[in-house]
Amino acid sequence: MYDPGDGGFEDEEFDPDAMVWVRGVDYVAGWREAVNAGEALSDALAAAGVEVSGLRLRAGTGPDGAGRVRVVLPALVARQVASLVRSAADRWGQAS
């Protein structure tokens, strides 16, 4: 599992000054959800045999407070992920 502090996440701290705030929107909850989703994605890729050392994740939120995860990965890793997704789609009968 990749904890936000162990290098899998970049700028993992929630920066309240980096955004415009809308009253009543819970940005912190969205950011926390993005951190958890990013960790889950990293764990799943590692379990599938994808080399995650070059994977970079950044948790953030959208204007509505919904969590967002930015993923940056080397081209080779992107091809591995694409192959995994195609294989899963073939197994589930959803390939186009």
Which neighbouring-strand residues pair with 56? 72
Q: How far apart are CA 95 and CA 75, in angstroms?
A: 22
Q: Tell me if residue 22 falls in helix, strand or coil.
A: coil
Band of pLDDT at residue 73, cut at 50, 70 and 90? very high
What is residue 41's predicted lDDT score, i.e. its pLDDT?
94
Q: How far is CA 53 from CA 10, 11, 27, in A?
A: 13, 17, 29
Q: How many domains does the chain have?
A: 1
Domain assignment present for residue 96? The answer is no
Share of the chain above pLDDT 90, in %: 51
Range of the domain at 73: 4-91
Domain assignment present for residue 68? The answer is yes
**Run of H or E residues at 59:** strand 56-61
